[in-house]
Structure 1
Amino acid sequence: MAPSHKQWIIPFAVQLIPAGVLLIGSFYLKESPRWLITNNKREQALKNLSWIRNLHPDDLYIVEEVAFIDAALDEQASTIGIGFWKPFKAVGRDRTVQWRFFLGGMLFLWQNGSGINAINYYSPTVFKSIGVNGTSAGFLTTGIFGVVKTALTLVWLFFLIDRLGRRNLLMIGAAGGAVCMFIIGGYISSVNISSTAENLSGGGIAAIFFFYLWTAFYTPSWNGTPWVLNSEMFDQNTRSLGQASAACNNWFWNFIISRFTPQMFNSMGKSGCGVYFFFASMMILSIPFVYFLIPETKGIPLESMDRLFAVRPVSKAHATIHAEDQAREAEFRHDAEGAGLSIAKEKLDQYEHTQEV
């Protein structure tokens, strides 16, 4: 494309497409049943929960879930209360919750330590270090990187996150990604990459392959899973503050890595090979962190998070809490079966009676 104002207008306009889709989609989102119940909108909460679960409002599962939400909100009101500063109070007085905040923040250290934002922001530099030269070739390889990330994000979203679980995805992604980074770093350190070379060697093509293979390991693991864990690992008392903490940690470590990436390429080994060894080492170190400190949260309700993080060893926490929740649900169903009433339905009936009056 000839130099003109189109060179910035077209890329800018393309970015408006996903933003526009997000804006339109936001009008069709259902409000959280927990938030609705908190704000005394029980009827709408039941409708939304029934839509989410694809069940009738009178289904015992819906009755059971609303009852547990009620119990959690009652406990919250009786312990820390409802209000903007209450989550800060809950965190300040409970070391176990502080520990969860630390774990949630560290997940973003390991995420950014994998090298993703160094690659996002400096992809031409990264590909040049492998041996890709020329503006067109650099843009092409960068574009393919974006396409691979997008495709694998959809695979992660629809298939992997709830089938393999959070812990397994993080450890598999870190192990596979580290191997790829070590291979790329080893290739760069063993050859003389000429800035004037017109064609990649066989080794250079292999390095590009392992770069995209690294993307295939990273995207369905560390790209989105830390966000999922941070949305699940806090109870109702501190969840909102936990999400804010996650965002702050993400941007803090993002800044640190992206700020020093150019200096790293200039000072860490031949042609920046040390940068790849650094990222590979960070991914290796994240594996024991996840295995020993991060419990599996798949299928565990928010109301059970305190108990989940109290179980040791961490590797058995999910099975232990899942079994306890199943026993509790079985007891609830046994008590409620055939009664036609429950705490949740009684509260709904009281609400509807108040509205009629």
Structure 2
Amino acid sequence: MATATRQSSLKYGLDTHFSASTRKIPEQRAYSHQESIGGDSSNQASNGRHAKPLPTWKALGICAFAGFGGILFGYDTGYINGVMAMPFFENLYLQHTPSLAAPGAPRAAPAWFRLPGKDKSLIVGLLSAGTCVGSILGSDAADYLGRRAAMIIACVVFIWGVVDQTVSVHMDLLGRGRFETGLGMGMVSTVIILYLSEISPAPFRGVMVAFYQLSITLGLLISACVNLGTRDIWNKGSYRIPISLQLVWAVILAVGLIFLPESPRWYVKQGKLDRAQTALARLRCQPEDADSVRAELHDIVASYDHEMSMSPPGTDTYWGSWANCFRGPWKQRGSNVRRTLLAAAVQMFQQISGVNFIFYFGTAFFKQQRFDNVFVIVVVMSAINVGSTIVSFYLVNICRRRTLLMAGSVAMAVCQIAVAVAALIWKGSPRNETPDVRGLAPSERQPAWTFWTTMTGVGVYLFFYATTWGPGAWIITGEIFPLQVRARGVGLATSTNWLWNTIISFLTPVLVDSDHWNLGPTVFLIWGGACLLGCAFTYWFVPETKGLTLEQVDLIFEVSARKSSSWVPPEHMARRYSTCLRKYDSALK
């Protein structure tokens, strides 16, 4: 009964909104992407109204600022990577801090001193566990409070966790702060992808979601530079400075969000069509009565009305809305359960590709491999990541989604397998039993060629990750869900991302450290194999969504993923939902 009432209310609202004046629905024909964002004023002049050409920089600036939230994720990932290898931090958290007041207090930790694998797993994994919970909470907040309000609340929770981490001097408070920060970060990561996908013009949606990935990489680079500057400080400032700088990013994001428009699709879901039209006009930088704005809003409302008409009773309840994500048989291409599992699988393959190993444990790993200047190495890797993500702006705009993901998977696998093979060759080569000038045993010495093979392989791998799977997984996740379950679906997919992040955080030190499995660089064989599996999955199951509106993406599941690249959307999206449009058309004749 509730669903029927809601559906009837929305239909009445659409009727009233589009027929309350003498204005007519724009001519029923296909609007090109350029027209949909205001590029064609000749059609808009048909009713005596001239819309100004879209000031693209302003519309994209709104989307870009929302994507700035990715810096929270990137900076946290990067700072903890370096902090866990800082001499003072290692001494402090293993209860070996010398008295700073004592004459001749050491200025560096002993060479043998390092955090055990279980402590590194706990420090990194608690944040990932918090993000799993936060992702679910974020989808709830986004649905009930709105996309903007949800992100502002997430920033407040994030700040709370950062404060606890900053003042910590023992594992208990640090762990609690990491979990609290994870809650806020999980909420942000869910709602930002949702918000960006819903507000971005269709031709620029991939670029805008890629900007979120760029913000992540910028956070990684900034944190690596900060760690490099504070690594040798022999007091609590060595780790408190990197931690506390997170407050700056959270405050900037929270304050800026106050001035951003709400998602028009959320307003449609709430039945607030006037507000939806105002928000959409602001996002497209057009007058509210512009034909392109009204046509886009009409498609959004008709699509959502069609979703509601096809939904079984009970899906508008809290638990029913979650259950709706898993509705429909798996074999039905467009079923909600298939889309949910597709998004979850894409996020899983992004996480098990090996990137988190490099940015969570890279400093400690390179240190364990006896490489010199490990903090400088991480800065260089972070810079490669940032530069490559900028390149992705161009690639996601010209390349098909499927092609990009499959090519990236193969390239990443080749790089990682090369690093692992080089390590195996070195381990199997004859040993020189003479100790070197540092007194290191032969098994501890790394020849120059293995160093350069590892650095080249990791650097090239990061280039391909940052230009393909880095932004690509988030783009696909934000595009494939219908409006009715979009918040829930994106929340579940993001939670899956963080779940695998947590698994890798706890498992990787066990696989790599010498006091456990001691795989060392050969762990890259695991990541390389996962990349090849990701390529096969993309070929069989991921549809081509480039250049389509979110409402058009909803229809592409009618064909198989392998044939989706040649799929052409219907002339006018709203016409597709003829059952709910006959009433509107007859009322306007």
TM-score (norm. length: structure 1) = 0.81
Aligned 8 A contact 2:299 2:573 in 1: no
Aligned 8 A contact 1:101 1:245 in 2: yes
Which residue identity lines up with residue 296 of structure 1 in the other structure?
E
Q: Measured at CA, do residues 83 and 54 of structure 1 come closer, stay the same or move farther in structure 2, by a change above 3 Å?
A: farther
- How far apart, in 2, do the equivalents of 1:310 and 1:152 lie? 34
Q: Measured at CA, do residues 142 and 318 of structure 1 come closer, stay the same or move farther in structure 2, by a change above 3 Å?
A: same
SS at match of 2:397: coil
Shift, 1:304, TM fit: 3.4
Shift, 1:311, TM fit: 0.4
Equivalent residue for 1:205, pick from 436, 452, 476 = 452
Aligned 8 A contact 1:131 1:194 in 2: no
Shift, 1:110, TM fit: 1.1
Aligned 8 A contact 1:295 1:317 in 2: yes
Aligned 8 A contact 1:188 1:271 in 2: no
Q: Which moved more, 1:49-58 or 1:110-119?
A: 49-58
2:558 corresponding residue in structure 1: 310
Equivalent residue for 2:347, pick from 95, 108, 111 = 108
1:337 corresponding residue in structure 2: none
Shift, 1:120, TM fit: 2.0
Which residue identity lines up with residue 352 of structure 2 in the other structure?
G
Aligned 8 A contact 1:129 1:271 in 2: no
Shift, 1:128, TM fit: 4.2
1:300 corresponding residue in structure 2: 548
Which residue identity lines up with residue 322 of structure 2 in the other structure?
F
The percent identity for this pair of structures is: 26
Question: Which blocks of at least 5 consecutive residues in structure 1 are unaligned?
Answer: 333-341, 348-357
Aligned 8 A contact 1:295 1:309 in 2: yes
Q: Measured at CA, do residues 2 and 53 of structure 1 come closer, stay the same or move farther in structure 2, by a change above 3 Å?
A: closer
Number of aligned pairs? 328
- How far apart, in 1, do the equivalents of 2:367 and 2:513 lie? 13
Aligned 8 A contact 1:189 1:271 in 2: no
SS at match of 1:300: coil
- How far apart, in 2, do the equivalents of 1:155 and 1:23 lie? 28
2:265 corresponding residue in structure 1: 34
- How far apart, in 2, do the equivalents of 1:270 and 1:2 lie? 31
Which residue identity lines up with residue 263 of structure 1 in the other structure?
V
Question: Which blocks of at least 5 consecutive residues in structure 2 are unaligned?
Answer: 1-231, 330-334, 428-440, 577-582
Q: What is the root-mean-square deviation in Å for CA atoms of aligned residues?
A: 3.0
2:383 corresponding residue in structure 1: 147
In terms of fraction of residues, the more helix-rich structure is 1
- How far apart, in 1, do the equivalents of 2:453 and 2:375 lie? 19
**Runs in 1 of length 4+ with deviation above 4 angstroms?**
128-131, 192-197, 266-271, 329-332
1:178 corresponding residue in structure 2: 413
- How far apart, in 1, do the equivalents of 2:455 and 2:551 lie? 46
Which residue identity lines up with residue 264 of structure 2 in the other structure?
P
Q: Measured at CA, do residues 6 and 69 of structure 1 come closer, stay the same or move farther in structure 2, by a change above 3 Å?
A: same
2:327 corresponding residue in structure 1: 93
TM-score (norm. length: structure 2) = 0.51
2:225 matches 1:225: no
Aligned 8 A contact 1:76 1:82 in 2: no
Which residue identity lines up with residue 88 of structure 1 in the other structure?
W
Equivalent residue for 1:161, pick from 396, 401, 404 = 396
- How far apart, in 1, do the equivalents of 2:357 and 2:558 lie? 36
Aligned 8 A contact 1:114 1:282 in 2: yes
5 Å matches for 1:2-151? 2-80=233-311, 82-95=316-329, 96-128=335-367, 132-133=371-372, 137-151=373-387
- How far apart, in 1, do the equivalents of 2:499 and 2:284 lie? 37
SS at match of 2:398: coil
- How far apart, in 2, do the equivalents of 1:39 and 1:74 lie? 12
Shift, 1:225, TM fit: 2.0
Aligned 8 A contact 1:181 1:277 in 2: yes
Which residue identity lines up with residue 172 of structure 1 in the other structure?
A
- How far apart, in 1, do the equivalents of 2:400 and 2:248 lie? 31
SS at match of 1:276: helix
Equivalent residue for 1:287, pick from 535, 539, 554 = 535
SS at match of 2:260: coil
Max radius of gyration: which structure?
A: 2
2:572 corresponding residue in structure 1: 328
- How far apart, in 2, do the equivalents of 1:64 and 1:343 lie? 13
Aligned 8 A contact 1:34 1:45 in 2: yes
Q: Measured at CA, do residues 101 and 115 of structure 1 come closer, stay the same or move farther in structure 2, by a change above 3 Å?
A: same
- How far apart, in 1, do the equivalents of 2:553 and 2:233 lie? 57
Equivalent residue for 1:234, pick from 481, 485, 505 = 481
Shift, 1:65, TM fit: 1.2
- How far apart, in 2, do the equivalents of 1:172 and 1:73 lie? 35
Which residue identity lines up with residue 214 of structure 1 in the other structure?
Y
2:177 corresponding residue in structure 1: none
Aligned 8 A contact 1:131 1:195 in 2: no
Which residue identity lines up with residue 493 of structure 2 in the other structure?
A
Which residue identity lines up with residue 139 of structure 1 in the other structure?
F
Q: Measured at CA, do residues 328 and 126 of structure 1 come closer, stay the same or move farther in structure 2, by a change above 3 Å?
A: same
Shift, 1:266, TM fit: 4.6
1:350 corresponding residue in structure 2: none
Which residue identity lines up with residue 279 of structure 1 in the other structure?
W
